[in-house]
Chains A and B, each alone.
Chain A
């Protein structure tokens, strides 16, 4: 009987590995040309280090028993290890810092649903840059890198995770009630959002606005005239998209309802969609506080491309499948 491997892991054989290698090389080529230096960090870290990212960050799923007394864990992404590297080795360096990586990361999955526990990510972190220009730079690198891999048809959903919470606050919704609405928004349960909003003791036109905003998405969101309360709330997304080169801007899909349930993102967030795939192939965003947790009070912005999903997207495009 042959030995098995855990559900959610797989062996990569030469034919596939060669294709993945070509994709990695294309991505790293763009990262490098854009001034990002490649780094490697340990696959296992102290659990305490990874958990500094906070309770809402991607949970550490695999704990490893080290030498007696050592609590180690497998990294769930590369953003936290790079924050650690920056804070320990580049504390006094001139900002901004530019790092890139191709690395394996580990997450818990529901068994036997075809989700990977171990997955290959390629990405960048830009540390200590100004928010809008930093996001514009990484979004440009993201699009150029995916284009270099050969993928033609893809879109980038751009949201602002601070938008809806600040809109709730400006409508006078108290923090506890906001939390309830935000939980439904994180699940994208519009029936739940509407139910929670109707239960609020606020003006009818404010309920209308709060009901409408999470549904607003698509290029036309920024072109139409907006409610004054909303107009200032979308300024970060509008400024960002406005500062991009036209061909990059054309890929952007503003999404006012985007509110990631988990993570250290605190402002602009983005996700890459391929019309042939049911799930995003890359995601990223701006984080204001992560480095502060390592004693380096600067913000950062980064993204991670799921290399296996990008590979699947390329294979779909090659087969000439139409975007359903």
Chain B
């Protein structure tokens, strides 16, 4: 266990590096996590690693006291009863609507058919966004390689997360609309937030410190 006495849920994938850098700022030894990408539980340092979308589940249930995950995940699962403590200012991405380059097929579908088909890993965010803007969208949930959907005719457009836009570009897609800009967030279990208040506040202030604010912007 770490000196804070907190079990920390850490996301694997794109947010892992930034999350471990943040843990380093709190003087938590991350060397074993960095060197072992198969092990999931690091009891010595109180860290559990998992998919970003599982972080709210573990934290809500109290299986982890605090966790790091993307704001996109928090937006997709608003019913999770967890507290959002801090913006960690790394892992900046945009949730966008994208479709094939050239005339926008989604717009054409909306005009001619009154409805467009949207493929996404974020059915809640997508449905709410189009509902708010008064457009009919049929949401097709896929679990990966969302870019494939418009290329194969499964959907007219996609709603997906993009950091650099390179994957979109390589698949001949262009961004049509930006739904939100998201970053990594620190979340806490609501019971731990009260019962481990001192430890959580100290941990939060240490990992939120931004020695490399410039790097984040770049």
Q: Which residues of A are interface residues toward B (Cβ below 8 A)? A: 110, 155, 157, 187-192, 215, 217-218, 253, 255, 273-280, 323-324
Contacts and interface: CB of A to CB of B under 8 A. Distances in A.
Secondary structure call for the B interface: mixed
16 contacts: A187-B84, A188-B193, A189-B83, A189-B84, A191-B85, A218-B198, A273-B195, A275-B191, A275-B195, A276-B62, A278-B61, A278-B63, A279-B81, A280-B190, A323-B195, A324-B7
B84 A255 contact: no
Given A273-B195, A278-B62, A278-B192, 15 more contacts: A157-B194, A188-B84, A190-B83, A190-B85, A191-B86, A191-B87, A215-B201, A218-B194, A253-B195, A275-B191, A277-B62, A278-B63, A278-B189, A279-B81, A324-B192
A217 B84 contact: no
Contacts of B190: 188, 278-280
B80 to A, nearest CB: 10
Nearest to B78: A187
B84 A218 contact: no
Nearest to A279: B191
Contacts, number: 60
Contact of A192 (B61, B62, B63, B84): B84
Chain B interface residue number, banded: 20 to 34
B79 interface: yes
Contacts of A187: 84
A277 B191 contact: yes
Contacts of B192: 278, 324
Contacts of B191: 273-275, 277-280
B197 A324 contact: no
Contacts of A110: 79
Interface in B178-218: 185, 189-195, 197-198, 201
A101 to B, nearest CB: 25
A279 B193 contact: no
A279 B60 CA distance: 8
A110 B201 CA distance: 31
Contacts of A189: 83-84
Given A188-B84, A253-B195, A277-B191, A324 B79 contact: no
Which residue, A191, A255, A274, A323, has most C-beta atoms of chain B within 10 A?
Answer: A191
Interface string B96-118: 00000000000000000000000
B145 to A, nearest CB: 27
A187 B79 CA distance: 10
B65 interface: yes
Q: Which 10 A-B pairs have the closest CB atoms?
A: A278-B62, A188-B83, A218-B197, A189-B84, A273-B191, A191-B87, A278-B61, A157-B194, A217-B197, A190-B85
Nearest to A159: B194
Given A324-B62, A324-B65, A190 B86 contact: yes
Given A278-B62, A279-B190, A191 B195 contact: no
A278 B60 contact: yes
Given A218-B198, A273-B191, A275-B195, A191 B63 contact: no
Contacts of A217: 193-194, 197
